[in-house]
Amino acid sequence: MNTGLAGKAVIITGAGSGIGRASAQHFAREGALVAVADVRLHKAQQTVDLLAAEGHRSIAIEVDVSEPAQVERMVNDTIAAFGRLDVLFNNAATVRVGNAVELTVDDWDIVWRTNVSSVFLGAKYAVPHMPAGSSIISTASLSGLAADAGLISYNATKAAVINLTRTMAVDFGPLGIRVNCICPGVTMTPAMKGFMSDDRLRELVLAATPSARLGEPEDIAKAAVWLASDQAAFVNGQPIVVDGGLTIQNGFSLMQQARGLDPQ
């Protein structure tokens, strides 16, 4: 596939591990120059070291994506290093568990600033530097399309990311900048691996997934590369679901898939 990404400059937030790290590797393999941004500088540097071992050029940037000054600096540092900015991948996110009664106001604010304000701030500081043909991508979630018990802030923020994507596509489309988001399903990031160590839960999820496997960070990374590429030049304002088919079935189908599993 001719992606047209060779020589393009890409910022990926949350690139110190998981989906962000896999995305950094895939963009770099397409010839892109990658700014590896993460709140944990040592993790960002580990990703840079992996890319360097493959002969790719990248830089590590420490950033708290909820802080305006740090996001602005991230953009400026990328342009100083590479002389341009063509792709912004807003991948960093956080989660706090609790319903509307249980969740603290501070935790609510942290999740909104990290998951939603970061997308606004990224566009605010990146778009003025992005030429026509550029792309903004954000990691949303299936949790932005349907509800999960006890994840009120995460669900609300990921739904907001989806509509932010649509709004920015309308706003920046006339500039030649496409804006899309990805809604991953169950993806085996480091955090999810711990969650899926419960064999019963793993079996239930696998039974409900037509592709009969769990997602890997590389699955999301490949979608991000495609969205940023020339191959997706007419794709704009879309939430792209990458979930192995988890969300395509109705309740009766899911019960049939799970038949024979112990619900207890």
Q: Which residues are catalytic?
A: 154
Q: How far apart are CA 83 and CA 61, in angstroms?
A: 16
Rounded-to-integer distance, Cα 163 and Cα 181, Å: 10
| Close Cβ partners of 46 (under 8 Å, ≥ 6 residues apart) | 16
Report how far residue 127's alpha carbon sits from residue 85's, in angstroms, rounded to the nearest whole number.
9
Cα separation, 41 vs 63, in Å, equals 8
Helix (H) or strand (E) holding 37: strand 33-38
Q: Degrees (nearest 5) of the Cα angle 134, 135, 140?
A: 170
Q: In what order do the strands lie in the sheet with 239-242?
A: 58-62, 33-38, 9-13, 87-90, 135-139, 178-184, 239-242
Give the number of other CB atoms < 10 A from CB of residue 174.
Answer: 8
Torsion sign (Cα): 150, 152, 153, 159: positive
Phi, psi of 12 (to 5 degrees): -125, 120
Ramachandran region of residue 150, left (φ > 0), alpha (ψ -120 to 50) or beta? left
